[in-house]
Amino acid sequence: MAGKRNPEQPSVPRTAYFDAEGNRTEDPARAVRGEIHEQDADGRRTRRTWFFLEEVEIKWLPVSESAFLLWVLLGLLLTWVLIGLVFGLI
């Protein structure tokens, strides 16, 4: 059956990583795209997976994403404390 893995034969993954300039790299931390090929013990390809990473700037956000998330965390914490004070739990 196509697409089914045989549990008796473990797959052997091969990876190809590419950096932002399109050059092949061995460092997964520098990779922005790549392919993972899984092969069975006989060398036949059983699965091929692509990945692509892209950093997107949010236009409507006037601060960095990390600063925004810290403000969201602070808001949730203050809401939690306020609810605790209202219900007499704190």
Contacts of 10 (CB under 8 A, 6+ apart): 41
pLDDT of residue 39: 81
Which residues are 33's β-sheet partners? 18, 52
Contacts of 32 (CB under 8 A, 6+ apart): 18, 19, 20, 52, 53, 54
pLDDT of residue 4: 59
pLDDT of residue 5: 54
| 19 closest CA partner among 28, 34, 30, 35 | 30
The residues of the chain scoring below 70 in pLDDT are: 1-12
pLDDT of residue 1: 47
pLDDT of residue 64: 85
Tell me which H or E stretch contains 47.
strand 45-52
Domain map (residue ranges) of the chain: 1-55, 63-90
